[in-house]
């Protein structure tokens, strides 16, 4: 017997917003009866503000699938579509308090139904639907889960093990013969993520952000290296992409200081702050 908490049981025993909306502006449908769960979500939008004024669902599935659907509808009511697009499975779990590990895929199903509904709305309005879910190669044949979905869920929830992917997406939970493939996808994904520099940086830094970030990287990454050789560095100015620094201590008199500047300082700053930076020495 699953150990559902009171919140999950409340949503299961008294689900909110069950039903259909006849003239819905958006319908999202995910899962299928073969997989053992499915969710159909109906959204009604305010024509002016584009806020979700009504939402209804129908779910085929276990208690946690029904509870996740109910929680989702409570969550998104009143949101704009932009806000709703940012909802993740974690937000659904947060409302429910917790879900058993093996049931986390129910919350993912909620998120996917919402995304499908939003895509459905945009599709109707003539824009390209973002159907990331249906892209990619099917990895898990039992549940029809693609590599694209595996990567997306892994990134969102910081998953590193194939078994965790099973809990979130069901992939690998049938015959289990794709578990090795899933692990390979994860290993590749996280290897790439680790080697991807400055992954959390926004596209364009403001000047203040740039100064702060450069200072931080200099303090944490560059100074300790130079100090090992008895040298140091200080930031003089930043003009656009030009970072002007002064080498101190032994570095100042070192004949190889030009190499240090380009190979060490500039490379580190390009790696951690922005790839277009150019480092110059103060005159």
Instruction: Give catalytic residue positions.
Output: 35, 106
Position among 89, 117, 150, 173 found at the interface with another protein (CB under 8 A): 173
C-alpha–C-alpha distance, residues 69 and 8, integer Å? 11
39 touches another protein (CB under 8 A):
yes
Position among 157, 166, 232, 266 found at the interface with another protein (CB under 8 A): 166
1 touches another protein (CB under 8 A):
yes
Least distance to another protein, CB of residue 136, Å: 20
Position among 11, 40, 151, 268 found at the interface with another protein (CB under 8 A): 40
Mark residues 63-102: x for contact with another protein by CB under 8 A, - for none.
x-xx-----------------------------------x
Q: Which residues of 215-246 are buried (b: 16+ CB within 10 A; e: fewer)?
A: eebbeeebbeebeeeebbbeeeebeeeebebe
Position among 59, 120, 146, 266 found at the interface with another protein (CB under 8 A): 59
In the chain, which ranges are continuous DSSP H helix?
6-13, 63-76, 81-85, 89-96, 104-124, 147-157, 162-169, 179-195, 207-217, 223-228, 250-253, 257-259, 267-272
Least distance to another protein, CB of residue 36, Å: 5
Check if the beta carbon of residue 243 is closer than 8 Å to that of residue 214. yes
61 touches another protein (CB under 8 A):
yes
Q: Which is nearer to another protein, 136 or 174 (CB)?
A: 174
Q: How far is CA 174 from the centre of its chain?
A: 26
State the CB neighbour count (10 A cutoff) for residue 112: 24
Q: Which is nearer to another protein, 173 or 231 (CB)?
A: 173
Check if the beta carbon of residue 165 is closer than 8 Å to that of residue 184. no
C-alpha–C-alpha distance, residues 263 and 281, integer Å? 13
DSSP 8-state code for residue 169:
H
28 touches another protein (CB under 8 A):
no
Least distance to another protein, CB of residue 174, Å: 5
Position among 60, 190, 244, 270 found at the interface with another protein (CB under 8 A): 60
Question: Residue numbers of the site for another protein (CB under 8 A)?
Answer: 1-2, 12-13, 15, 18, 29, 33-40, 58-63, 65-66, 102-103, 142-143, 166, 170, 173-174
């Amino acid at each position: 017997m699953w150990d559902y908490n009171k919140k999950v049981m409340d949503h299961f025993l008294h689900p909110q917003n069950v039903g259909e909306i006849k003239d819905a502006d958006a319908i999202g449908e995910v899962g299928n009866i073969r997989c053992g769960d499915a969710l159909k979500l109906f959204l009604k939008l305010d024509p002016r503000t584009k806020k979700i004024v009504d939402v209804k669902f129908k779910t085929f599935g276990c208690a946690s699938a029904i509870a996740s659907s109910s929680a989702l509808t409570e969550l998104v009511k009143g949101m704009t579509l932009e806000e709703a697009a940012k909802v993740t499975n974690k937000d659904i779990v947060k409302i429910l308090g917790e879900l058993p590990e093996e049931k986390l895929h129910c919350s993912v199903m909620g998120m996917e139904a919402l995304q499908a509904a939003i895509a459905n709305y945009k599709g109707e309005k003539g824009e390209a639907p973002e159907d990331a879910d249906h892209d990619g190669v099917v990895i898990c044949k039992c549940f029809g889960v693609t590599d694209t979905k595996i990567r997306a869920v892994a990134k969102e929830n910081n998953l590193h093990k194939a078994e965790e992917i099973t809990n979130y997406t069901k992939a690998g939970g049938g015959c289990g013969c794709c578990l090795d493939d899933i692990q390979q996808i994860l290993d590749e994904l996280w290897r790439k993520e680790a080697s991807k520099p400055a992954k959390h940086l926004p596209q364009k830094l403001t000047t203040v952000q740039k100064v702060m970030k450069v200072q931080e990287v200099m303090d944490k990454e560059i100074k300790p290296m130079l100090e090992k050789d008895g040298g140091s560095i200080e930031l003089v100015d930043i003009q656009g992409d030009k970072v002007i620094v002064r080498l101190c201590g032994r570095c100042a008199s070192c004949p190889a200081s030009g190499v240090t500047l380009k190979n060490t300082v500039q490379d580190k700053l390009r790696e951690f702050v922005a790839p277009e930076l150019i480092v110059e020495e103060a005159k």
